[in-house]
Structure 1
Amino acid sequence: DRARFVEGFVIASLVFCTGPLTILGALNDGLGNGADQLLLKSALDGFAAIAFAAAFGWGVAASVVTVLTVQGTLTVLGVVLGDVLPEAHLAAVTATGGVLLVGVAMRLLRLREIAVADLLPALVVAPALVSLVAALR
């Protein structure tokens, strides 16, 4: 019974904390762009949690600690970045996040399998490119 709890905790934590909506939603919420993406993610995760709970039991419910820690940290990071980054950098991060969400939507609708998680480094590259372009002017 303990192994089942641990397996449910680990699987649910990984599934709920590794998707692109986790990172994009928490950062956007911290940047003041609203929690719409986190609300969408919570609805999707809620349906997955029901299925996981049927298979793994209470370990899935315990994964809320991991989700709260990861998403809370990312939201705080978004709040800190919002105070530090110039407006052009925030616009680059927001635009890049929007493009990544299009990739998430295409995956959810099964139109095209885009490896969105592989594109997450673009959230760091976009502001760097804005700095590069500003320096070249």
Structure 2
Amino acid sequence: MRGLGTIINALAIVIGGVLGILFKRFLKERYQDTIIKATGFSVVFLGAAGTLSKILTVRPDGTLSTGGSMVMILSLALGALLGELIDLDAQFERFGEWLKHKTGSDGDNQFVNGFVSASLTVSIGAMAVIGSIQDGIYGDHSTLVAKAILDFIIVLIMASSMGKGCVFSFIPVAVLQGAMTALAVVLSGFMTDAVLNNLSLVGNILIFCVGINLVWPRTIKVANLLPSLLVAVALTGIL
């Protein structure tokens, strides 16, 4: 069943978030702050490792060579321009405020921040993109199941310090991964190795930026960089 991987992923996020909220009751505020910063640094290194794996290759003589720099720079620059024009960051926050009101959480000052931070952490990146495409083209859920386990842990930790807004990060995951799976079914012939590599490269850079925001809040408008993924796909054919 195509799409099963996304369903499993969304359920894992909800369960992890609920457990994190229950766990939060036993944590003092200073512990919560330390945990979220530790999570942020973990996400930074996950993003950095994924990015380096795509731009560095080992030559037969053992030396390193780099590639993908042009795609990386152009994708992020043009994507940032498009994102600022649309202002996706503000759209995410408005949706978070709407959820906050609809769930009766108006007194929760961390709700929107938790929703946005958790959503951007688990919605983008190599595993989200490649896993959704594998699910759509081959019906292979293995990558998304592995991602579900990681997201369960990440959202559990984030919810333990940032509250129930993190639980609702299952919504963008379900929408974005579901859409990518559906598109992969339609555009299966277009999803070449080069397209997947460029998507993975840019996605991992965005994950790195999310980690930066967890350690130093509101440093980067990561949502406004999301169009970079579309630009990376377009540049694959051009470059």
- The TM-score with structure 1 as length reference comes to 0.64
User: Is the 1:52–1:60 Cα contact (8 Å) retained in structure 2?
Assistant: yes
What residue identity is the alignment partner of 1:28? Q
In structure 2, the CA distance between the partners of 1:62 and 1:29, relative to structure 1 (3 Å rule), is same
Are 1:29 and 2:143 an aligned pair? no
Q: Residue 158 of structure 2 corresponds to which residue in structure 1?
A: 52
Are 1:68 and 2:174 an aligned pair? yes
- The TM-score with structure 2 as length reference comes to 0.39
CA deviation map 1:30-83 (0-9, x unaligned): 11150111111111111001101101111111111111011111111111112x
CA deviation map 1:101-129 (0-9, x unaligned): 8x9xxxxxxxxxxx8448x7776666x49
The alpha-carbon deviation at position 3 of structure 1 amounts to: 2.5
Q: Residue 133 of structure 1 corresponds to which residue in structure 2?
A: none
Are 1:39 and 2:140 an aligned pair? no
Are 1:77 and 2:183 an aligned pair? yes
What residue identity is the alignment partner of 1:69? V
Mapped partners of 2:117, 2:136: distance in 1: 26
Which has the greater radius of gyration?
2
What residue identity is the alignment partner of 1:19? G
Mapped partners of 1:54, 1:63: distance in 2: 14
SS at match of 2:138: coil
Q: State the identity as a percent.
A: 30
In structure 2, the CA distance between the partners of 1:96 and 1:48, relative to structure 1 (3 Å rule), is same
User: Is the 1:28–1:35 Cα contact (8 Å) retained in structure 2?
Assistant: yes
SS at match of 1:34: coil
The alpha-carbon deviation at position 2 of structure 1 amounts to: 2.9
Mapped partners of 2:204, 2:155: distance in 1: 22
Q: Which runs of 5+ in 2 are unaligned?
A: 1-106, 207-228
Q: Which runs of 5+ in 1 are unaligned?
A: 104-114, 130-137
Ranked by relative contact order (alpha carbons within 8 Å, sequence separation 6 or more), the top structure is 2
Q: Residue 213 of structure 2 corresponds to which residue in structure 1?
A: none
Q: Residue 108 of structure 2 corresponds to which residue in structure 1?
A: 2
Q: CA RMSD in A?
A: 3.1
In structure 2, the CA distance between the partners of 1:79 and 1:123, relative to structure 1 (3 Å rule), is same
How many residues align structurally?
111
